[in-house]
Amino acid sequence: MSQHLFTKSSPEHQGLFGLFPEEISEKFSPSTPFRGKQVFDWLLKGVETFDAMLNVPKQMRQEMSDSSDGTPFSSFLVNQQQDDDGTVKLLIRLNDGLYIECVLLTDEEDRKTACLSTQVGCAMGCTFCRTAEMGFQRNLTASEIIEQFFYLSRITGKPSHIVYMGMGEPLANIGEVIRSIELFHYPKGFNISARKITVSTCGLTDGIKTLAQDLNIPVKLAVSLTSADNEQRTRLMPINKRYPLPALHRTLKSYCIETGKRITLEYVLIGGENDSETAGRALAEFARDLNAVINVIPWNPGAGNGTQFSEPSQQSISSFCSLLEKEGLRITRRYRRGRGINGACGQLAGNPD
């Protein structure tokens, strides 16, 4: 038995998209269990009304409709924007009037990656991130997480990959995140393979352990490190006070040994802040025995009203990356897309204006 606290998500408060077929049956048609699968299949096809569910009895359609304001979705697509680089950003209104954003990135290999939000706002307080400036409003339900995927699919076709890198801290809403992963992975549903799903965290060690122990789906783990200096990391990412670097390193080490998986360390490169040679060497030191891939993300403007932080120069990005390579680390430089529509890393704010 694991020692940590982990509240499993329950079906009661879910919208329809957050339910497995048998849970739909239990809720609306306990005497005819196959009905749940019929409804589930209609949802999967993307129907927008209950009337379109032709093989489902009228009374059951009515009951579902009454319980969800007449539409299978609990959220509404309000606006969509497309950047010149093909990135699409959606603004979605939740049923309590709050807003979230999600993004679809298309890359050179034609992968379509859905970048999903897990919370309205964020409580982690990273000083360089625009979402953090909103503060924390509430957790999303699994249904609200999955509905983002549906809205993105409708516009661009079914995404091939999922990254939990939108607004919020996934491991601070781990019950709903796990339910949504189970549904995305469900063979009779979207059937998305574990290696195409990435969960990104600012380093909540309890959550990382829970993910490894309680989720039977070996998704990929990305950890937003951004500094390998404990003092600097606390200044940039206040959550480091509660989960300091040495503890994070220990947890990641066990994670790698237990799962045998390669993790990603995300490093937001901020001009004049964490792009020095010393910072690069500290990062190499931290990463070495973790067999990690480093994802260098040049800081995108948006937070701190542009005064506190600056973008790193091309020169500083190149020398930082080549230093890491010389240290023998594997690096990637993705996630710059969507800047033209404030849809890149750290720029999501769910702002309807």
- Catalytic residues, by residue number, are 101, 345
Site size toward ligand SAH, by CB under 6 A = 20
Looking at beta carbons only, is 79 or 308 nearer to ligand SAH? 308
Is residue 302 near ligand SAH by the rule CB under 6 A?
Answer: yes
Q: How far apart are CA 284 and CA 266, in angstroms?
A: 13
CB of 336 to ligand SAH, least distance (A): 9
Q: How far apart are CA 37 and CA 34, in angstroms?
A: 6
Q: Where are the alpha helices (DSSP H) in 157-204?
A: 174-185
Q: Which residue is nearest to ligand SAH (CB)?
A: 346
| Residues in 152-171 that interact with ligand SAH by CB under 6 A | 165, 169
CB 117 within 8 A of CB 168: yes
Q: How far apart are CA 220 and CA 216, in angstroms?
A: 12
Looking at beta carbons only, is 41 or 229 nearer to ligand SAH? 229
CB of 169 to ligand SAH, least distance (A): 4
CB of 284 to ligand SAH, least distance (A): 19
User: Quick one: which segment of 13-21, 43-51, 126-134, 141-149 binds ligand SAH (CB under 6 A)?
Assistant: 126-134
User: Quick one: which segment of 63-71, 79-87, 136-144, 298-306 binds ligand SAH (CB under 6 A)?
Assistant: 298-306
CB of 297 to ligand SAH, least distance (A): 5
User: Quick one: which segment of 34-42, 65-73, 125-133, 189-197 binds ligand SAH (CB under 6 A)?
Assistant: 125-133
CB 230 within 8 A of CB 282: no
Is residue 173 near ligand SAH by the rule CB under 6 A?
Answer: no
Residue type at 256 in one-letter notation:
C
Is residue 129 near ligand SAH by the rule CB under 6 A?
Answer: yes
Looking at beta carbons only, is 56 or 269 nearer to ligand SAH? 269
| Residues in 310-349 that interact with ligand SAH by CB under 6 A | 345-346
CB atoms within 10 A of CB 18: 23
Q: Pairing mode, if any, of strands 293-298 and 197-201?
A: unpaired
| Residues in 257-276 that interact with ligand SAH by CB under 6 A | 266, 268
Is residue 239 near ligand SAH by the rule CB under 6 A?
Answer: no
Give the burial class of 9: count Cβ atoms within 10 A of its Cβ; 0-12 exposed, 13-18 middle, 19 or more buried. Answer: buried
Which residue of 200, 210, 240, 342 would you call a contact of ligand SAH, by CB under 6 A? 200
The H or E element that residue 147 is part of is helix 142-156
Token digits of residue 142: 């699994």
Q: Which segments of the chain are extended strands (E)? A: 76-82, 88-93, 99-106, 112-115, 119-121, 136-139, 161-164, 197-201, 220-224, 264-269, 293-298, 330-332
Is residue 120 near ligand SAH by the rule CB under 6 A?
Answer: no
User: Quick one: which segment of 100-108, 145-153, 240-248, 294-302 binds ligand SAH (CB under 6 A)?
Assistant: 294-302
Is residue 303 near ligand SAH by the rule CB under 6 A?
Answer: yes
CB 255 within 8 A of CB 212: yes
User: Quick one: which segment of 90-98, 136-144, 196-204, 324-332 binds ligand SAH (CB under 6 A)?
Assistant: 196-204
Looking at beta carbons only, is 74 or 118 nearer to ligand SAH? 118
CB of 275 to ligand SAH, least distance (A): 13
Give the burial class of 219: count Cβ atoms within 10 A of its Cβ; 0-12 exposed, 13-18 middle, 19 or more buried. Answer: buried
CB of 317 to ligand SAH, least distance (A): 12
Q: How far apart are CA 331 and CA 3, in angstroms?
A: 35
- Listed residue (201, 208, 207, 245) closest to 222, CA to CA: 201
Residues near ligand SAH (CB under 6 A): 124, 126, 128-129, 165, 169, 200-202, 224, 226, 266, 268, 297, 299-300, 302-303, 345-346
